[in-house]
Amino acid sequence: MRNLITDVAGIRVGHAEDAKVASGATVLLFDEPAVAAVDVRGGGPGTRDTELLDPAMTVEGIDAIALSGGSAFGLDTATGVQAWLAEHGRGFAVADALVPIVPAAIMFDLLNGGNKAWGRFPPYRELGYAATASAALDFRLGNAGAGLGATTVNLKGGLGSASAVTADGIAVGAIVTVNAVGSVTIGNGPHFWAGAFENDGEFGGLGWPSPLPADALVFATKGGPQQATTIAAVATDAILTKAQARRLAIMAQTGLARAISPAHTPLDGDIVFAAATGRKKLADPVMALSALGALAANVLARAVARGVYEATALSFPGALPNWKSKFGAKFGL
């Protein structure tokens, strides 16, 4: 187990970044078309082709999922992904034509200090192509891909991932770009809200503080919709229908609420895709799916904390500190 979403059979992940722009793109590439759905809980989302994921819609499988910085400009990432897929003969067949299906979600990172004066065309189409071409089983966390420009209210954000296996042997993984309007740590201290779900010290092993600090429940946000949105995907090797994948996405959203305070605000996007690569049959359609969704929420919470734990500060004036530089030395991390 890599403790990455690629522990789910049939998935590879690729990143591409532009350091001067301080933004990037991440692509989940499926070996074969995957059943997928989406759940949106925040009030400020940015998406492409998510309508296709409704169970009533015709398309049954998707070729990739694109996650990107750049706000609405970043939706060009999916075009680059489609270009790579078309070159490799992938897509939904319409007579003799193939149309690659690439739902996408973006986050706002336009005010993080990078140079966004990119001229007539933003860089995201090329970033999407490069990320897809580099897709592999192993990939970087923290300031990687779509996580390069991410921030939270008090710390540098980043890209995280985690995985687990149900008692029935079904794999589930998560990947997330943490650009939350709120915080993933409890108050101004080092402890992660997701501490109760941590595995093997994957984000410091600190657990929860006891008692909770006085500032634990103080409402603290970036203060504007122009600086937020957490975008994520969970995946499983189970055989699911689109309706079941939708329920998996809904349950996985709980992971964001466990790991980020506040979550699902008017200022966030809080988008979670769910994908199934169809390798293993669920023991039953109700309880097994319930167990899978509960585990997906835990895994997504862990991925959120890992994304911030592994991040490094940007090199621009006024950039937020990263977790390890602020707290790591105190705990020998």
The number of angstroms, rounded, from the C-alpha of 174 to the middle of its chain's C-alpha atoms is 7
The reported pLDDT for the residue numbered 27 is 98
Residue of 144, 142, 155, 150 whose CA lies nearest to 178 = 150
Neighbours of 101 (CB within 10 A): 24
CB 128 within 8 A of CB 73: no
Please tell me the distance from the alpha carbon of residue 195 to that of residue 306, in angstroms, as a whole number. Answer: 11
> CA of 9: how far to CAs of 6, 88, 217, 290, in Å?
7, 20, 39, 21
Please tell me the distance from the alpha carbon of residue 159 to that of residue 76, in angstroms, as a whole number. Answer: 20
- Write out pLDDT tens, residues 130-157: 999 999 999 999 999 999 999 999 999 9
Strand partners of residue 94 = 97
- Write out pLDDT tens, residues 191-245: 999 999 999 999 999 999 999 999 999 988 887 545 678 999 999 999 999 999 9
The reported pLDDT for the residue numbered 220 is 87
pTM: 0.96
The reported pLDDT for the residue numbered 224 is 59
Architecture of the domain whose range is 5-331: 4-Layer Sandwich (3.60)
The reported pLDDT for the residue numbered 221 is 87
| Sequential pLDDT tens for the chain (333 residues) | 999 999 999 999 999 999 999 999 999 999 999 999 999 998 889 999 999 999 999 999 999 999 999 999 999 999 999 999 999 999 999 999 999 999 999 999 999 999 999 999 999 999 999 999 999 999 999 999 999 999 999 999 999 999 999 999 999 999 999 999 999 999 999 999 999 999 999 999 999 999 999 999 998 888 754 567 899 999 999 999 999 999 999 999 999 999 999 999 887 889 999 999 999 999 999 999 999 999 999 999 999 999 999 999 999 998 999 999 999 998 988
